[in-house]
Structure 1
Amino acid sequence: MSEETTGTLADLKSLVQSGAITGEAPVLREPKRDAFGRSYATGRRKNAVARVWVKPGKGEMTVNGKPVLTYFARPVLRMLLSQPFLVADRYQQFDVIATVVGGGLSGQAGAVRHGISRALTHYEPELRPILKKAGFLTRDPRVVERKKYGKAKARRSFQFSKR
């Protein structure tokens, strides 16, 4: 049995050295687009969940049917949404349509950013290494800790009274 294994390994080694088998398999991802030429992805952060569609356009963004300027009034939140496009060098080349539920505005902005990044990788798979290195494809796992019984909040105890 050991002779068969060594014979097989020797054959495999010769195939690799001859170039018939390469050490790295090329990963060719196909773009995922619907009938309208859009790519869809879900983004999440804290308790917020965003459904995001990305399509080629002039850079218009709508969130829950409103322009992004009215929905995310704070400039910091709008900056979060534009980060994936700036890193990928695709600023104002895509239109974004997003619906967000749950959480607060900060969590929703993070969820939309996560969704935009994932949708961009579905539209153009070659952008994945750039967005992955920037950390936009990683879901931020931090969520609010649940309240425990016998406690005022998640960890805070009730006020102690000596008498």
Structure 2
Amino acid sequence: MSNNLNNHPIKYLGTGRRKRSIARVQLTPGSGKLIINGISGESYLQFSPNYLRISFAPLTMLGLNKEYNIYVKAQGGGLTGQADAIRLGVARALCIINPENRTILKSEGMLTRDARIKERKKYGLRKARKAPQYSKR
């Protein structure tokens, strides 16, 4: 079960970010469990098949669904941002496991950080771009 002298299982780390979310992902050889912040992934992501599909996408693409357990520390943002952050973290960890995975994942856009974030509010406006109503008279 353990490979090195300190009796620790092998861990592959990857960090994913999206909007305001940060996911620190650990991949360990296992049976395909997803644990997010100490809770099962299904209940944390509210049993949403879409969020679960997004989170497992890199493993599914490489056919490694039941090969690794995913342990995640997620913080910030909402479930959409966290699911996308988990996907990026898993993809980065898979590149560490086998550098040949990189070409497959990169061609599918799994290693691209989505840089879209909320635009800051400007002074004189109600939001980033919404202006107060204009009155001619």
The answer to whether the aligner puts 1:106 opposite 2:105 as a matched pair is: no
The answer to whether the aligner puts 1:85 opposite 2:59 as a matched pair is: yes
C-alpha offsets along residues 102-138 of structure 1, whole Å, 9 cap, x if unaligned? Answer: 1111001000000000011111222111111111111
Give the TM-score normalised by the residue count of structure 1. 0.76
Which amino acid in the other structure matches residue 112 of structure 1? Answer: I
Q: Which 5+ residue runs of structure 1 have no aligned equivalent?
A: 1-34
Give the TM-score normalised by the residue count of structure 2. 0.90
Residue number in structure 2 paired with 1:25: none
- Of 61, 69, 87, 2:42 maps to 69
- Of 46, 59, 66, 2:32 maps to 59
Which amino acid in the other structure matches residue 109 of structure 2? Answer: G
Give runs of ≥4 in structure 1 deviating > 2 Å: none
Q: C-alpha distance in 1, partners of 2:107/2:72? A: 24
The CA deviation at 1:57 is: 0.5
Q: C-alpha distance in 2, partners of 1:96/1:124? A: 16
Contact 1:49 1:102 (8 Å CA) reproduced: yes
How many residues are treated as equivalent by the alignment? 129
Q: C-alpha distance in 2, partners of 1:55/1:126? A: 19
Contact 1:81 1:113 (8 Å CA) reproduced: yes
- Of 110, 118, 127, 1:136 maps to 110
* RCO higher in structure (CA 8 A, sep ≥6): 2
